[in-house]
Structure formats: structure tokens, C-alpha cells
Amino acid sequence: MAAPVNIVVGSHVWVEDPVEAWIDGEVSRINGLEVHVRTTKGKTVVANISKVFPQDTEAPPGGVDDMTKLSYLHEPGVLQNLAARYELNEIYTYTGNILIAINPFQRLPHLYDTHMMEQYKGAGFGELSPHVFAVADVAYRAMINEGKSNSILVSGESGAGKTETTKMLMRYLAHLGGRSGVEGRTVEQQVLESNPVLEAFGNAKTVRNNNSSRFGKFVEIQFDKSGRISGAAVRTYLLERSRVCQISTPERNYHCFYLLCAAPPEEIDRYKLRNPRSFHYLNQSDCYELEGVNDGHEYLATRRAMDIVGISEQEQDAIFRVVAAILHLGNINFAKGEEIDSSVIKDEQSRFHLNMTAELLKCDAQSLEDALIQRVMVTPEEIITRTLDPVNAVGSRDALAKTIYSRLFDWLVDKINNSIGQDPNSKSIIGVLDIYGFESFKSNSFEQFCINYTNEKLQQHFNQHVFKMEQEEYTKEEINWSYIEFVDNQDVLDLIEKKPGGIISLLDEACMFPKSTHETFAQKLYQTFKNNKRFIKPKLSRTDFTISHYAGEVNYQANLFLDKNKDYVVAEHQALLTASKCPFVVSLFPPLPEETSKSSKFSSIGSRFKLQLQSLMETLSATEPHYIRCVKPNNVLKPAIFENANIIQQLRCGGVLEAIRISCAGYPTRRTFYEFLHRFGVLAPEVLEGNYDDKTACIMILDKKGLKGYQVGKTKVFLRAGQMAELDARRAEVLGNAARTIQRQIRTYIARKEFISLRKAAIMMQSYWRGKMACKLFEQLRREAAALKIQKNLRRYVSRKSYLTVRASAITLQTGLRAMTARNEFRFRKQTKAAIIIQAHWRCYQAYSYYKSLQKAVIVTQCGWRCRVARRELRKLKMASRETGALKEAKDKLEKRVEELTWRLQLEKRLRVDLEEAKAQETAKLQETLHAMQLQIEEANAMVIREREAARKAIEEAPPVIKETPVIVQDTEKVDSLTAEVERLKASLIAQTQSAEEAKQASAAAQAQNEELTRKLGDAEKKVDQLQDSVQRLEEKLSNLESENQVLRQQALAISPTAKALSARPKTPILQRTPENGNILNGEAKKSLDSSLVLSTPREPESEEKPQKSLNEKQQENQDLLIKCISQDLGFSGGRPIAACLIYKSLLQWRSFEVERTSVFDRIIQTISAAIEVQDNNDALSYWLCNSATLLLLLQSTLKASGAASLTPQRRRSTSASLFGRMSQGLRASPQSAGFSFLNGRVLGGLDDLRQVEAKYPALLFKQQLTAFLEKIYGMIRDNLKKEISPLLGLCIQAPRTSRASLVKGRSQANAVAQQALIAHWQSIVKSLNNYLKIMRANHVPPFLVRKVFTQIFSFINVQLFNSLLLRRECCSFSNGEFVKTGLAELENWCHEATEEYAGSAWDELKHIRQAVGFLVIHQKPKKTLKEITNDLCPVLSIQQLYRISTMYWDDKYGTHSVSSEVISSMRVLMTEDSNNAVSSSFLLDDDSSIPFTVDDISKTMRQIEVSDIDPPPLIRENSGFSFLLPRAE
């Protein structure tokens, strides 16, 4: 971070502060190198100019998600950016490809749910907001694409959240590459489930963290070729063994000791445990319990975790027996023995603990005592046994405890690895390193030395990686970077690990000499490194030394270095535990080789750790590293507290500031050409107005300002440290001059505006007074004119009044005379009209009386004749019934008829066709009969008229003849009637010649008479139908009364003359073969046919089976033809799908719904399935969606479950005991008799009207399958549309950057082109919507389903756009809100054009994105209250969503701010309450892909389909088996 060179008075800067680390202010004065800064808190600070750094006043209030985008990449800028983001709960921030994670100390479940994992899956690094999932995704994608192993290094101090971050990394990697493992548990689950076990035995409470990992952990997650997790392994480093024996307040020992002390009572009794305060290894600290943690519950949870990772019950008991033994071992105290330098067990309490330890370890108590207080020395001459003094005995005791615990921890790690299982064939791994961060306390011992040595190693690896990334960036942009120096810490590593001569080597050497002490070791260090710049000797201490690490100087106390570095394998301890009777303890201490088993052997912890670290670095070097730096914001472990000094120290320790220093050594400021021109284009307006490309324009601006040392790459401008501040100073100067110019112009405008207003006021006053004088003059003139007008009007009034009096008198006289004349005329006309009416009514009455007498005579004559004929037929019928011979003759005729009909049964198909044709002919015959009767009526009327004319002519021509010629009258009555008729005709003729109006009235009367006759004819036809029904019932009763032989009686009925007479009667043609006449068919042939079906005997089985076989074959052929037909695109008829109607009418005609077994349903379903195999053929999918919906609607209104139907009138009639009744009922009940359905006209009644049928299981199953196919096709169409618009939605959420041309004023054409480009993607979406709407409308898809499709699509658009808006901060800007609002207007216009019939409520589904965008584009956000926002602006959005948008908002157009801090605080309080109430705090929306309708919804919304007039396709139109599909003649 170079010293600034362009700090001037008025500059906003950062200055150091002892409390806040850095504080911002404004430069008030500069004296040489001294800068006077007035801080925002009101105080003035004087600092050296080299310690003052410029502040970016244009930085977004919410910070940037990648700190390499900062205009000033320095320590205070980084700190301010992290603080701003942490205040908004943005805990993740990038520094290049390094992720900084600040512990929030609160639950943020919305950041880690499955929905969030899906958002980051496959997303580019930096495309979404910073997140730990993004780092894991990059590592996984790099491993898959490049085939190289990757590693993720998680570091930070205790309490920074390393362990939780590691868990999140493993969860995400499991989400990407999870695979089921043994017993249904995945590998990643087993790794995560091992965490509680490792935490119980490897974690402890420290000063800074209640659950601090006291060991380093490297988890290798192994993947196979396909990128699936195939295995895993856990490596541990440097367990803090000394904690077993030594702790201090307020720390605790390892959790497992406290968990065991809180175990159930039976286990406490088994291990003879008591309160933790009674054990020496635990009571060295005053802290025994953790706040909010129940050790008893945690013990049970740990046991369950052990079960999960595969540790058996016996092994668990053995583990906790060893833990209890360590506690008892720590309570063994020693006293001085009788001999010199000897020791004995102190008291009975210690003896009790000694015995308990031996019992728990299952070894001999005396042997344990000897191993603790004796040592065996093997010399060439003899074996010497010596005793230890109490101090050394305590050291021996503690060494045994540490060794046992260390071996136990190693065994647990090995057990976990064996349980998880490693994949030897793994091609690549992703390693997650969770290791302790840099530590610097007031008192630092050997553990801190090793930890900091580890961090120095990792920091060197980190520096190399950062420098490599810098090189790759420079190489990618093709700029010169050869002179940039690499910052390295190799000198510190040489100081620590160099062999020989390093601190670790000197420590091992000192440990090997018995007389070495910590003082001699310290003096050796002072002498060896007195000239090393990284090694410092404190002035006031003889044993301390200081090392200058990359993160700062650390002072180490060498007092315990030698003891903690020694790791003797004590031969007595080894022999004691090897001889244990407990197999588990023996497994912890396998026997040593012969040469090492007789004496103690020195082993260096430092050297062993150095080897482990080298192995780890080799593993990391073979992988592609990714870094996560965890930061603890405060030491009180509470949320919303950001301690600047603490953060800065951790950033130093984590190497983040070191990475920034590496960046500053090169080009810390990088800006794309667009960003550079957008910010500094004001420095050279002529460059923007010129026709230069972006790169040339940037170079011209830099050269104009005289900058040196910068680099221009392919897409970015690279500036050296300080150059950004210099350009900002020049820019501030230009903007200041522009501001002064604007102020001058504004002041001129205000002064001129004031002058114009004064002048306008003076003119208005003058105008007012002049107007006042003019008003007075006008008033005088007006009064004079008014007086003249009054005089004139008064004179006019007097004259007019006298004139009106004379005129009224004249009018009164005229009115009286005219009224008298009119009344006389009216009286005359009224009398004339009354006379005419009386004459007309009298003539009408005479004609009507004559007609009624004629009609009555005709009816009497007809009735007499018909009664005579009927009595004659009745006598014949009675005679026929009494004659036995006639009965036998009828029997013989019937047997012959049966043989004839047996042959005719084979011609059933032709008969059926003939019957259908006869039906049509019968209908036509009825119409012809009706027409003939109408013609007869017309002819009768015409005949009457002709007779009248003839009579009139005869009267005119024949009077002389009548007078002269004598006539012989044979019938006097007839002559009289004719004479009377002649007289009436004469009167009628005279009346017709007298008045034309009377003729018209006669015509009207005749017309009314015709209508009356027509009505009577209809009544007669109804009476005929009723008579026919009565005849049928009488025949059935007659048949039931027969007692001898039903066959003979039926034969007599079939051949009776009555049937022939009835069928031959000309006035009752309706009796032939109609649904209204019941079972009476066309002639005796049809009756004999039905009788033969029942009377066929077993002697003639061939005559029955052959027709039935041919019928089944024909039915199969019809089904094949139907399937072949519907497999083609039959199109539509009047908006109705032909295929669906064809299927329905065929199934209904064949009675397939009422049979127990049929294959036609399966074949139809298979045909539909084959038609929709091509999932992207939306035309075919829409076609079958329409057909499925229509067919389902028809089935819904037709089918009912079996047994649910009530007894219908048709069924009641079919229960007749007559022969024909039982036969027709039997035919209806037989599935094979579908071809004889024409025999029972009453049952079918026609296909035109939908009727309820009792559906069997196959029909109900077909309906369910059809419903499933409807839902499947609907889902396919919806998902196809989603796939089509998904890529476009990614382009629609963020506005494309405006070209440089639009930065220059006056280029309207360029702006128009830019605006057109902005909505191009939205128009593509609208085009896709229109295309799908066109396809579905062309295929007549029901509007209800179309509405559902677009409603779900708009919901999908709402979810995608809204989630992207909340996940990407660059999208939450003012200009982007305008862009999305423009696109939403396109969608709204589409909904309007598509009409509500097809769009429905689709527009309402966009409510989330509409309200979010509306919030982005409103002005004066800081003035809005929380109530206004939640109730008026965004009532649909949750508090979490509003908080996210409010904190991520930034105005790239006008520079306005988001809502006020009070509103933000209120939102945060509400979010905290929601989290406490266990309400889901996820701010992302979920897409609903369910089927949003049911079959009942379809039947309610679709109109009924009329299937009767559907014209069948040519393929089956000519087939006689489908004749029922042809429209019937009316």
C-alpha cells in the first residue's frame, strides 16, 4: 500500500485510530508531511501523509462482493467494505478467488437450504453473491472438467467458524456427488456423522471459543470417474496432548471427560465417577459447564453418533472405560518414600484411584504402581531398577495419561476411516482442510509455536497461489509483469525448520541431552540466530524469544518447550498396557520391536509434526487450492458486533492483507474499459465524442493526464498504486468546476426569474387600475342603454296585450263551430261501422253452422262403418281360437317358419342394414303421410271454392232451364239441401260483391279453420300412438293368459291377421319398427326371427355358434379399423376433436363400458402413448391434450359405478313375463349380443343424447389411465415451454450495459438502438408464448387448460426472476429495475392481447417480481416507512425478502440511497422474532410443478360436446359396421 501522493485539502481520507483501527474524515490542512484531518466524530487528528489513505466516496453503501473491485485496495477500504456487508448480514465476501467468511453468531438458515444449493449448482464463480457453496462448486467443476484433484483450505482462529464452514462444504459436495453407501447411508453422511465423535474427543472450550478444535483435520473426499463420491478419509494433525493434564481458567479439558461425568447413573456407578470438580485433570479450571449445553444429552448423542459410524457397543464401553481410567489416573498422588529420590502412593484415596485405574484398564494394580514410580535401565553389565521422586512420578503419570489419550484418539480416527471406507480406485479427490489459525496470546508456548509454523507453511503456499493468480490475470490480459517482485516468507520457514540449524533441530538436540534445560535451549537460540532479522531477543527475559511472522511478532516462552517436545515411549508403560486383559487396551499399544522394548526411547513431537506437515503440503501441492478465511468479528461471541481492531488482526493472520500487499505490488486497481470510461470520461469529453474504440479512448485519457506505469490489457485498464487516487482527484476537480458553472447558471436563472416576476406584478397592477376606470365608464353607459330598453319594451307590451285579446276571441268562435261539425261526422261513421260488423258476424255464424253439421254427419258415418268392420274381425278371431285344426295348421306353418328364419339368421348383418334403412323409410313415410293430409286439406278447401264458383256460374246461367225443364228427383232430401246450398251461395255471392273487406275477413276465417284442422290432426296422431301402446299391452296380457303352450300362442300372435291388418292400415304407418312402439317389429318375419333365437333346440348348435363366431370376428375387425383410424390426425369438426368423438360413439355403441373384459381400452391407451413419444412435438401434444380432455369429459358425464343406477322405466318394461320381453332382456344382458342392439329400440334410444351407463372395472380403469395421460401431456407441454424460456430468463434479469455511445448526449439513434436491444430477450419470451398459444388454439385445447399452462409458466417466470434478483447484487439496481419493468410491460401487453379467456390470472402470478421491481424504481426510498413499504408498496413480500432487497439495492443511475437505517433496523428485529418463532426465514421462492386441476375441474369448466353430427372419416364411412356413426335423417 503505497503512500498517497495526491492528498489535498477537502479530500476524504482514512486515518489510523487506536480504538477503531481506522476512522474516516476530511483533510482540513496540510503542513508539509503533516495532514490535519477532521474526523466524522468531530475531533481533529494529525498524521503523517504516508499513514493517510484516500476514501472512495462513490463506493456503494452496501459494499462490493469482490474486494478486487474496490477503487482503493488498502487496509481501511477492505475493513470498511467488510463492515458494511456484515451490517447487512452479508457474511461472505470475495478477494479475488479467496472467500472471507465472517461468523454471524446467529442462525441464517436461508443461506444453506437445498434451494440455495440448487441456485449455485453450475453457476459461474462470481456470477451470484459470494458463498461457501460457490467455492465448493468451483472446486468440483474444476475436478470434473480438468480431472485434477482440488483442495479447499479453511483457516481462522478459534471461534471463527471453521468447523461449521467445513460442514457446509461437505454438505454441498454431497449434494453434487452424493451416492448411497452401505446400509443406505451415503459416504458424506458418514463423514458428517463422524464429526460429533471427533468433536467430543478433540474439541474443548478455550478463551475464545466454546467448541474449539484442538487438532488439525484434512478430509479427503474421493470421487470416481463419473464425479460421484466413492470414498473418504480423515487425516488429523497435532492433537493438543498437553491439555489432558494441564488447563487453566476459563478453559475446559476435552468434552468427553465432562460428558462421561454426566452419563446415566448406572454408568457413573460402573466407572466410580463423581462430580468433575473431584478430578484433578478437570478442576484446574473453574469452568465445568457450557452455557446452553446439556452434557448428559450430549453424552447420549455421542453414543448415538458412535453407533452410526460403526463403533460397537463393546468398543464404546471400552472407550469410555479408558476415559474414566484417565480421570482416575490423574487423581493418583505421590509422596516421598523412605529412600532418597523415591516415592510412594500418597494416601488411601490415591490408592483407591490406582486400583480403579488398574481395574478399568484390566491390568495388575501393583504393576501399574511400579510402572509409575520405577524405571528400568539396561546396561551391558546388568539391569538397574531405580525409583522416581514424587515430581518425576507425577510426570510419569501425566505422560501415561497423554499417551493413552493420544492413542485412543488415533484409534477413533482409524475406526472412522475404516467405517467410511476408502476407494483405492479413486481418480480424484477434493480435500477440505480445517486447521487452526494463527495464534498470538500473552503467553505462547510450544503449541502456539507449532500452530504458527503450520500457518507459515500454509501462508507460503497461499502467497504462491495468489501470485500465480496474479500472473494468470496479467498473462490473460497480455501485459508486462516481469518486474513485479514476489513476496515470500521462506526466511521464516528456514528459521524454524532448516536442518541443521533450525529451531526444531536445536530443540530436538536439547531434548536428547539429559542436562539440557529451557535456559540452555534459549541461550543456544540467542547465539545461533543473533543476526537473523526474523528472530528477536527480548531485553527483560532470559528464556523468551520473539519471531517476526507474516502476521506480526509473537513472543514465545521456552519454559515448557523441552517437556512438551518429548514423547518418550516408556518401556514400563508399554509393557504394562500390552499385558492388559482388555483386548481394546492391548490394541492401543501393540508390542514394540525387541530392540526398543527394554528401555525408553526418545521421540520428538516437533519432528513428527514437521513430517506430517510436509506430507500435508505435498498433498496440497498436488491439488488445485481454494481458500476460505474465517473471521471472528468479536470476542464476546454475539451477533451484530464488529470489532475493527480484532478484524484487522485476523485479516493479517489469515494472510488476506498479505494477498492485498501482493496485489498492490503489481496493479491493485483494475477496471474494465466500460467502467473506466464511465467514471473518468468526464476528464476528456472530446474522446467520448470522437469515433474511438474503448481501448484507444482509455489510453488517450490516461496519456492526457500524464500517468506513467499503467498497463492496458485486452479488456481492462491496470493502474499502479496511487494512480486511481490521482485520477479521482483530477475528476473531482473537473466535477468541482462543473458544479461551480452549474451554480453560476442557476443563480443567474434565479435572479432573472425574480426580476421577471416583479415586472409581471407591476404590469398586473397597472392593468387592474385601468380596468377599474373602464368599468366605471361602462357602468354609466350601460344604465342609459337600460333606460331606453325599458321604455321600448313597455310600449311593446301594451300593444301586444290588446292584439292578443282580439285574437283569442276569434279562435274561440272558430273552435266551437268546428267541434260541432266533427261530432256530427263521427256519429254517422260510428253507426255505419256497427251495421257492417253485425252483418259480418251473422254471415259467419251461418257458414260455421253449416260446416259443423256436415262434419258431424261424416264422423257418425265413419264410426258406424268401423264398428261394423271391427265386429266382423272379432268374430273371425274367436272362431280361429276355437278351431283346433287351425291351431295345428298354424303350428306346422310356424315350424316351417323357424327353419326359414334359421337360415335368415346367418344374414343378420344384411337384415340389420335393412332394418336401419326401413327406419329411415318409415320416418320418410310418416312425413309423406303428414304432407299428404295437408295436401288433402288444401284440396278440400280448393274444392269448396271451386264448388262455390261452379254454383255461382250455374245460378247465373241456368235459371231459365230450371224453370222450363222438369227434373225427376229421386232423393227429395238431397234436392232440398242443394236448393238451400244454392240460396246460401247466392247470399254469399251478393255479400262478396258488396264489400271487399268482408272477403278479407272470410279469408282470415278460412286460415284459422286450417290451423284448427292441423291441430286436430296432431291430436289424432297422438291418439293413434296411445291406441298402439294399448294394443301392445293387450297382446302381452293375452299372451300371459295362455296356459298350454307359449310357443303356440306366440305363433298365433305372430301370424294373426290383426298384426297384418295393423301394419297394413294406411292411417297408422307409425306402427312399423319405431322406438315408440316397443317390441313390435317389421312384419311377422321379425317376430319369427326373435322367436327362433329362443326356440332353437340343442339339436342345432351349429346354427348358433357360427353366427356368434362371425360376430366376434366382425367386432375385432371394427376395433382394428377404429385403432387404425385414430392413429391418424383426424382434425376437428366445429371445434370438436373427431378422434375423441369417434372413440366415444364406438365404445358406447359396442357397449364396451358394460363388459367385464375387453382389450379395446388398452389398445386405445397404447395408441395415445405412441403418439406422444416425441416429447418436443408440441403440435401432437396439443392435439392429444384436446382429445384426452374431450374424451374424459364425455366419460365423466356418461359412466357411473356399477350398482349405482336406479331402476329405469325401460328396465321395468323389459321385466315383462312375455316371451318377447324375456328375450330382449336376455339380449341386453349378454356382452356378445352387442350386434343385436337394434332389436331393443327403447334401450338405445339413439346416440344423440348422453346417457348414464353402469361402468365395469375395465371402463373405470380406462378413465383413470386417460386422466393420467391428460396430466402427463399437460406437464410435457408446460415443461417444454419452461425449457424454451429458461435461457432467456437468465438474460432478462440483468440489463445489458449501455454502450459508450449512449454516454454522449444527443445520440438519439444510438439510444433507440440500445432500447431496442434491451427488450429483445423479452420479445423472444413473448414470441415463445405466442407460438405455444397459437399451437394450442389451433388444436382447440380447452381454454381452462390453456389458462392453467400460462398461469404456471408465469409463476415459473416470477420464481426465476425473483430468486435471481435476490441472489445477485448487480441486479438490485435502479437501472436494472427499469429494464425488468420494461420487460414486464411486454408480458402485461401479451396478457391483454391473449385475452382473459386464455391468459386468465397469469399476470397476477408475477406479483413478487412486480412489487420487487416497483420497489427498485421508486424515488425517495429513505422517506418511506416500514408500514408504507409492507402495506402499500410490497404487501406480498416477506420481511426477509424486503430486507434482502433493501440491503442489496444500489442506484447506478442517480446515486440515490436505499431505505433509512431505522427501517433496516426494524426489519432486522422482525426477522429475529420470526427466527425465534421457528418460522421459515428462506427468502427464495419455490417453483410449483404439480398438476393444478382435477377431472371435476375440467368437467365443470368445459361445455358439453354434441357428438351426434360428427361426420366420420372416409376410412370408416363406407364400412357397414360403423353405420351408426352416420348422421340420421330427421
Catalytic residue positions? Answer: 158-159, 163, 209, 212-213, 437, 439
- Burial of 1309 from C-beta contacts in 10 A (0-12 / 13-18 / 19+): exposed
DSSP three-state, residue 1400: coil
Rg (the chain; Cα; Å): 56
What count of residues does the chain have?
1530
Residue 251 C-alpha cell reads as: 478453559
Euclidean distance between CA atoms 1240 and 1227, whole angstroms: 9
Q: Minimal CA–CA distance to 1302: which of 677, 680, 713, 739?
A: 677
Residue recorded with cell 346416440: 1247
Residue recorded with cell 484418539: 409
Conformational region of residue 957, where left means phi above 0, alpha means psi within -120 to 50, and beta covers everything else: alpha
Euclidean distance between CA atoms 1078 and 708, whole angstroms: 112
Q: What are phi and psi of 1043, to 5 degrees?
A: -120, -10
DSSP state of 1431: I
Provide CB contacts within 8 A for 24, sequence distance 6+: 12, 13, 14, 15, 39, 40, 55, 76, 80
Provide CB contacts within 8 A for 664, sequence distance 6+: 1, 2, 73, 74, 721
Question: Taking the CA of residue 628 as centre, how many other CA atoms within 13 Å lie in the half-sphere pointing to its CB?
Answer: 34
Provide CB contacts within 8 A for 104, sequence distance 6+: 86, 89, 91, 639
Contact 1181, 1172 (CB under 8 A): yes
Expressed in angstroms, the distance from the first to the final Cα of the chain is 100
For 764-788, the DSSP string reads HHHHHHHHHHHHHHHHHHHHHHHHH
Contact 75, 648 (CB under 8 A): yes
| 3-state SS track over 968-1019 | CCCCHHHHHHHHHHHHHHHHHHHHHHHCHHHHHHHHHHHHHHHHHHHHHHHH
Q: What are phi and psi of 1510, to 5 degrees?
A: -75, 125
DSSP three-state, residue 636: coil
Q: What are phi and psi of 17, to 5 degrees?
A: -140, 135
Q: At what angle do helices 295-309 and 187-202 cross, to 10 degrees?
A: 140
Euclidean distance between CA atoms 667 and 73, whole angstroms: 10
Helix residue ranges, H only, 41-99: 75-87
Strand partners, 1199: 1253
Residue 1001 C-alpha cell reads as: 275477413
For 369-403, the DSSP string reads HHHHHEEEEE-SS-EEEEE--HHHHHHHHHHHHHH
Q: Which helix (H) or strand (E) holds 1263?
A: helix 1257-1292
Q: Which residues of 1021-1042 are buried (b: 16+ CB within 10 A; e: fewer)?
A: beebeeebeebbeebbeebeee
Contact 13, 35 (CB under 8 A): yes
Contact 40, 32 (CB under 8 A): no
